[in-house]
Structure formats: structure tokens, C-alpha cells
Structure 1
Amino acid sequence: MNNKIDIIIGGFQKCATTSFQNYLGHHSKIITHPQIEMTYFYNNEEYSKGWDNVRADYFDQNENAFYLAKHAALLRSETAIQRLYYHNPNVKVILILRNPIERAWSSFLMELRNKETPENFETTVNKLKIPGKIDIDDWRQNVYIGNSIYPKYINSLFKVIPEENVKLLVLEEFENDRMTVLKELFMWLGLDNELNQEVVENRHNQLKSVRNEWLNKPITWILKEGSIQKKTLQKVLSPKVRNQLGAKLRNVNTKKVERPELKQHLYERLQWFFEPIISETEQILKREIASWK
């Protein structure tokens, strides 16, 4: 506890990273950031400012607390992993693994608000030619399918972060017994389990759709990384105010929707594709993941 990141939830997108940040953030000895993601290690411009100049943008100072960060895309950058290790060689990394098919489908559903269509997902799946291998030049395969190829990212992490400092959780096992999994996680972190059932049952970042397409376009411009609108706001607003504004803009034009089911023939093709990925993930965990089969 020295004003550096002690714990980080490092992945993966659509694997309940936001929920776990909220669960752990309720602990009396843990403080976390209000932003959706803590991008310090990933963003070159941000990293160049140095931790002492950036920390206050994310955290209130508390020398008696553990600093918890979350960045679902952290493992996509080997440089970010190395920066994390240099920042704190003893950092604890939490990774949540979800059925790779369900994660891929959820990743696509999140993009429906950005003009994606079900036909695009079907085309992406049908383009898969070799089990476990994607076309790295196809952005949809990278985002929807590639982020479910867990062993690639886990092995890259293990090259830098000691395995004993990495906790791999299976989301479906957590859903089956939330309190037990969190109790074991807190024990691994060296903390008492303070959570109650009500906190643990809360769900975050559920599927939403756009209310008004006309309003969605300017909101997207404002929130998009690197846009002129966002860069302008970064110059005139503090990070905490920007975060509050971003949260309000995201919520004002969205509504909860029922999660559509993945077509059976696409599910079966993805089972074929992910079979070697699941097998390799089981080898890393040294056990079977029955809920993925």
C-alpha cells in the first residue's frame, strides 16, 4: 500500500470486469476509480505524464488502502503489461474467463448500438477457416473472436508477471457460487471477506440499446477516443468531471433490452473453432472447465 496499483482486473471484455470492480471496490480496505477503465499503462500520452501526475485523476490518496484498477483491454498490449510490472512488481492481477462463445456473442451485441447487424456476425463466424486461428487483418474477427483466445494473452502475461500473482477465475463457476468464489479471492488478496449477499447479487454493464439514433451520433463523437470533440473536452474539463459527463451521456440515450439468442448453427461452428482454445485454457488452469462444453 504505497499509492501504487496493488490489484488490477486485467481482462477480458464482456467478462464481468465492471461487476468485479464494484464487488471488490466495496471492501473497506480497497479504493478504486470511478472511470470505466484505468488506461494509464495502455495509453502512451497518459503514461508519459508519469504516475505521480496521473494518480489523482483516478484515485483519492489513501496510504492505508489497496489501490484497485480495472482495464479490460490491458492484455492486448505487451508494453502495457511491462509498464504495470515496472510500476509494481508485486501487483496482483485478476483475469475473468468466460465461455469464449458467449463472450464473443456478447462482444458483438455490445456493438449493435454502433450500426452492426446480425448478418455481420454470421459472416465473421463463417469466415473462420482453421480452429483457433483468426485473420488478424479482419477487425471483426479480432474484436469478436480474437478476444476469446485466452491462452495467447495469459501466456504473454506470465512472461512478465509471476504466475503466483495472477488469479484466473471462470465466470460460470462464479455465477454458480458467488460468495464462495469472492471469499477465496479475498483470501488470495490477504483481505477479510466483507461483502454481503445484496452487493454480490448486483449486476453491472448489462446489454443496452440506443433510444434515439439521431442523438447517438453526437454522443459517439464526444466519447470516441481521439475525436476532436473529446480532445477539446479534455483541455477544459478535469478527468473526474469528464468521467461524470461521459457516464451521463452513455446512460441518457440507452435502454435495457433482452439478450437475443445465438443461432444454433453459429454456436456449433464456434464450438468447432474454440475446441483447441478451451483445451489449452484447461491445461493452463490444470483442470476441466465443464461449463464450457
Structure 2
Amino acid sequence: MSKVGLFIAGGQKCGTTSLHAYLAGHPQVCAGPKELHFFDDEGVDWARPDYGAYEARFAGPGLRVDATPIYAFWPGALERIAAYNPAARLILLFRNPVERAWSQWCMEYARGDEAMPFARAIRQERRRIAMGEAGMRHHSYVARGAYGMQAARAMALFPRGQLLFLESGELARDPEGVLARVADFAGLARFGAVAPLRRNARTDTDYPAPPDAADRAYIMDRLAHDRVLFERLTGIGGARAV
């Protein structure tokens, strides 16, 4: 059974569902279900992992694609992917970290997994993450926007040519142009004309107040050094990353 060769590894709330849907429609792609959460599963014996059940989730021929955006953030996940398939290619999407954090908070709030107001949740985040896995998965609003650290980890494990960084707004504005880059990167035929997609849109709920100026400043201050790192590693900066 062939190995999974392409991972949409990051980041959550950055257009990964739409990219997965585009790829799933490509005739040369075998896309697994979205969010397989294999390489971030701490119940797996990672000293002797059994990949059989994981690979069985990919039915049919073509390039196998796993779209699980927590991989770039979750400790150890990228290392596990590298051990599984050193030749794998990884796509990491990013967006303005304030918008990303707010979008994640809205998702958790709509699901009933978040009761704290956004302003308090981002300021209590480090304490909640330190309490265990639930905090890492559900309340990592600012931490997941540390794209520089994620890029550094990926670059330490994979050659630069096996990594593609995409800004989510570009995918929304110019899907054909971005998908041409994705196809070239993955070794696929070009997509041709595509109908614009917007998947996993925010649930229609009455949300409390969105981030104010103090919240935005707090997030951007926490990520200031990481933003410099991200630009140095990827060459992407300015408004695209912030």
C-alpha cells in the first residue's frame, strides 16, 4: 500500500477545508477524510506505530492527501510524519493571527467548548494549555498563530522544496492561481477552471464582541518575535502575515 504523500499540515481556520475540497476533486488525488488526526494521536505506540489502519482510510488510486491542520502545531506530529515518509510534501496555510484566533474562538464557542469571552480566553490561554491536552486542542488561540515556530520545525525536518506556504486570502481571491502552484508543487496536472469554494464557514450564531484594539495589540505583541522569524524563514511578511 502506497504511503500518504501530501499533507495539509496547517493551520487551523486558514482555508484548509477548502483546499482539501479542491484537491479531493482532482482526478489524480486520493484524499482521505478531513481531519484524520493520526500523527497527533497520543494513544498510538509511536515506538512501533502501525500504519495499516491509517493507510486503509485512503481508498483508490492517486496521490494520497491527509488534511489535518493541527499537525504543524502539535508537538511531535511533524517528526512522526518525517519518520513515516521523509519524501512527503507539506502545505502550510496561514492568515492574520488575530483573525485566525477569533475564528477559532467562534468555532469553539459555537460548539459549546468555550465559555470564556475572547478577551479573557486569550489572556488565560497559556495557563489552560499548561493544564493538558484539552487546552492544547481547544484553547490555543494565539499559540497556533506562531507560524514562524511551525515553519522552523518543518524546515528542520524536510527540505525546503517539500514545503509550500500559502496565505489563505490568496486562495479565496485567486483559487486558480493558487491551485496551479499547488499542482506544480505536488506533481499533479493543473486543475484548470475551478468553481470558487468557501467551506467550513462560521456558524450563524450571536457571538459576543469581537477583538478590540487592546486584544489585537496583545496578540500581535505576543507574536512579535515569531513574525520576524516567519518572514526570515519564508520571505513572506508585511500585511500577508500580520
- TM superposition score category, shorter chain reference: 0.7 to 0.9
1:85 paired with 2:82, answer: yes
Q: What CA distance in whole angstroms lies between the structure 1 residues aligned with 2:50 and 2:157? A: 21
Deviation per CA, 1:34-93: give whole Å up to 9, x if none.
3x312222224456662234322x11142xx11011111112344332221222211100
1:105 paired with 2:54, answer: no
Q: Which residue matches 2:199?
A: 204
Is contact 1:26–1:195 with CA below 8 Å preserved after alignment? no
Matches within 5 A, 1:127-166: 137=130, 139=135, 143-166=140-163
1:6 paired with 2:19, answer: no
Match of 2:224 among 256, 266, 275: 275
Q: Residue type matched to 1:31 in 2?
A: C
Describe the shift of the 1:78–1:123 C-alpha distance in structure 2 as closer, same or farther (beyond 3 A).
closer
1:94 paired with 2:91, answer: yes
Describe the shift of the 1:180–1:150 C-alpha distance in structure 2 as closer, same or farther (beyond 3 A).
same
Q: Which residue matches 2:178?
A: 181
Q: Residue type matched to 2:71 in 1?
A: L
Q: Please, which runs of 5 or more residues in structure 1 have no aligned partner?
A: 129-133, 209-255
Q: What CA distance in whole angstroms lies between the structure 2 residues aligned with 1:127 and 1:45? A: 27
Q: Residue type matched to 2:37 in 1?
A: T
Q: What CA distance in whole angstroms lies between the structure 1 residues aligned with 2:205 and 2:17? A: 19
Is contact 2:39–2:81 with CA below 8 Å preserved after alignment? yes
Describe the shift of the 1:189–1:265 C-alpha distance in structure 2 as closer, same or farther (beyond 3 A).
same
Is contact 1:78–1:156 with CA below 8 Å preserved after alignment? no
Q: Residue type matched to 2:233 in 1?
A: I
Give 1:4 shift. 0.6
Matches within 5 A, 1:4-153: 4-34=3-33, 36-46=34-44, 50-56=50-56, 58-62=57-61, 65-113=62-110, 114=112, 116-117=114-115, 119=117, 121-126=118-123, 137=130, 139=135, 143-153=140-150
Give 1:104 shift. 0.8
Q: Which residue matches 1:288?
A: 237
**Rg (Cα) greater in structure:** 1
Q: What CA distance in whole angstroms lies between the structure 2 residues aligned with 1:21 and 1:5? A: 14
Give 1:148 shift. 0.8
Q: What CA distance in whole angstroms lies between the structure 1 residues aligned with 2:186 and 2:90? A: 10
Between Structure 1 and Structure 2, the one with more helix by share is: 1
Q: Which residue matches 1:233?
A: none
Sequence identity percentage: 21
Is contact 2:149–2:229 with CA below 8 Å preserved after alignment? no
In the superposition, the TM-score normalised over structure 2's length comes to 0.83
Q: What CA distance in whole angstroms lies between the structure 1 residues aligned with 2:13 and 2:235? A: 24
Q: What CA distance in whole angstroms lies between the structure 1 residues aligned with 2:241 and 2:55? A: 39
Matches within 5 A, 1:182-261: 182-198=179-195, 201-208=196-203, 256-257=204-205, 261=210
Give 1:9 shift. 0.4
Describe the shift of the 1:149–1:6 C-alpha distance in structure 2 as closer, same or farther (beyond 3 A).
same
Q: What CA distance in whole angstroms lies between the structure 1 residues aligned with 2:114 and 2:123? A: 16
Is contact 2:149–2:226 with CA below 8 Å preserved after alignment? no
Q: What CA distance in whole angstroms lies between the structure 2 residues aligned with 1:258 and 1:182? A: 34
Give 1:94 shift. 0.4
Deviation per CA, 1:109-141: give whole Å up to 9, x if none.
11112153463x21234569xxxxx55527489
Q: Residue type matched to 1:9 in 2?
A: I
Q: Residue type matched to 1:282 in 2?
A: E
Q: Residue type matched to 1:54 in 2?
A: Y
Is contact 1:6–1:88 with CA below 8 Å preserved after alignment? yes
Q: What CA distance in whole angstroms lies between the structure 2 residues aligned with 1:115 and 1:38? A: 20
